[in-house]
Structure 1
Amino acid sequence: MAIASTVLLSSSFRSLPSPPIPNPSKGDRAFARYNQNLFYNKFLHIRRFPSRENSCSNRRFTLFASMVGRKAMRRETVIPDPDYRIPAVLLGLAGVLVYKDNLLSDAPVGLLGLLLLFQTTRVRFVFDEEALEVKVGDQLQESGENVFVGGKNRWKYSTFVNWELWWPEFPILVYFKETQTKPEGQVHFFPVIFNGKQLYDVMVERAGPSKTSGPKQSS
């Protein structure tokens, strides 16, 4: 009986005629309610189908969010700390040579130690988003043209063919070969007057792992 009543009610509901449009000339309130319902239905239709302006705004917001996300993923600039061990060793060796009255060998060793000491205070390796650049001074000014091979002292990581760090326990020289200066490859040598561990880590991250040298990875 309950099921039959439900079916009858639903059938009678479907068969109900559409309500007539009120006549505004009669001055009743039904016409006002009809206009309110009509406005409400149009509002739902607008919300259900957004306009072109809303779609453009959504696309602009998506593009902005994507740009912010890419910017957040950018790698930070890394500048290894200066390391005075090599100049200190050279100047100490020069002192030993002076003590042993070996002035002929003392002069070049002492001069090299003083030169590296001066360079340690001013030269910096700057690893930015896309390249390694040699800069000088506290304000990190450009170092100008390379005195040996020409061109700026700035090389993109994508042009690195190989690099080496001699020697892992007490790094003295860093070597790398790049194809930016010459298509066939240009070799560079620099004394390690920077923190060797920091230098190694950032070189691995930006230029890829070295083929033969570098600190052994701890297991």
Structure 2
Amino acid sequence: MASALLSLPLTCSQGKEAIVYGAYKRSVFCKTRLYSKRFVGSKSICVHQSFIVVASMVGRKEKKTDIVIPEPDYRIPVVLLGIAGGFVYLDNLLPAATTGLLGLLLLFQTTRVRFIFDDEALEVRIGEQLQESGENIFVGGKNRWRYSTFVNWEFWWPQFPILVYFKETQTKPEGQIHFFPVIFNGKQLYDVMVERAGPSKTSGPK
């Protein structure tokens, strides 16, 4: 944030006071600590030939939207792996293998896939370093979609969210549908979607 000091071209002694406040903020959605500075004000007071000149300036705080990264949630892959174990116990090997492979895939994806919500778009990134995820292998284009292009979005199911759906017109004018397994904290994901993309037709997770 830019700040400036007001100076007076007077040939007299000057007393200047500037106050800068710094505050740590912690997002309810992620563990990242954000540091912001707010310029409160400065005063320059000069006494010259029996009069007092007081000049003050107050800087305005820049309004910025925090970047939100919902925390990973391992419940869905753990449940799938538990179901696979149940199929193995019942000697149903084919459904056990199918369910187990899906559970392992989602477990792997939960450790690496991140949803990044910035001030204008939702973006999918990979790994702790938040590397770009590249081209979308199904519909093409970058895995980044502006909130202004969202037509609708839904949660299935609010009590135990499994899938998140949204439709956007950025990829193609007639609209493109996306489905993602909810491998993130459902409450955090729902809240930031409401904030950035507008209300959904479904109720939020309890």
- After TM superposition, the score normalised by the length of structure 1 is 0.67
Larger Rg: 1
Q: Which of these residues, 98, 112, 118, is aligned with residue 128 of structure 1?
A: 118
Which structure dedicates a bigger proportion of its chain to helix?
1
Deviation (angstroms), 1:103: 0.4
Q: Is the 8 A contact 1:76 1:128 kept in 2?
A: yes
State the alpha-carbon separation in 1 of the partners of residues 136 and 130 from structure 2. 16
User: Residues 158 and 202 of structure 2 are in contact (CA less than 8 Å); yes or no, is this contact kept in structure 1?
Assistant: no
Amino acid at match of 2:166: F
Task: Work out whether residues 125 and 133 of structure 2, in 8 Å CA contact, stay in contact via their aligned partners in 1.
Answer: yes
Deviation at 1:214, TM superposition (A): 2.7
* Pick aligned residue for 1:83 from 69, 73, 83: 73
Listed as ranges, the matches of 1:25-174 within 5 Å are 65=59, 69=61, 71=62, 73-174=63-164
Distance 2:138 2:152 in 1: 20
- Percent identity for Structure 1 against Structure 2: 77
CA contact (8 A) 1:166 1:213 kept: no
For residue 139 of structure 2, give the secondary structure of its aligned residue in structure 1: coil
Q: CA RMSD in A?
A: 1.8
Deviations 1:85-120 (A, max 9, x none): 000000000000001100011111000000000000
Q: Is 2:187 the counterpart of 1:214?
A: no
Tell whether the 8 Å contact from 2:160 to 2:205 is kept in structure 1 after alignment.
no
Q: CA deviation at 1:213?
A: 4.1
CA distance in 1, matches of 2:201, 2:79: 28
Amino acid in the other structure paired with 1:77: I
Question: Partner residue of 1:29?
Answer: none
- In structure 2, give the amino acid aligned to 1:140: L
Partner of 1:180: 170
Q: 2:153 and 2:204 mapped to 1: Cα distance?
A: 10
In 1, distance between residues paired with 2:202 and 2:110?
A: 26
Which amino acid in the other structure matches residue 75 of structure 1? T
Whole-angstrom distance in 2 between the partners of 1:212 and 1:202: 14
Structure 1 position 196 matched with structure 2 position 193: no
The CA distance in 2 between the partners of 1:137 and 1:82, in whole Å, is 12
4+ runs deviating over 4 angstroms: none
Aligned AA for 2:84?
A
Give TM-score scaled by structure 2 length.
0.71
SS at match of 1:161: strand
SS in 1 for 2:178: strand
Which of the pair is proportionally richer in strand? 2
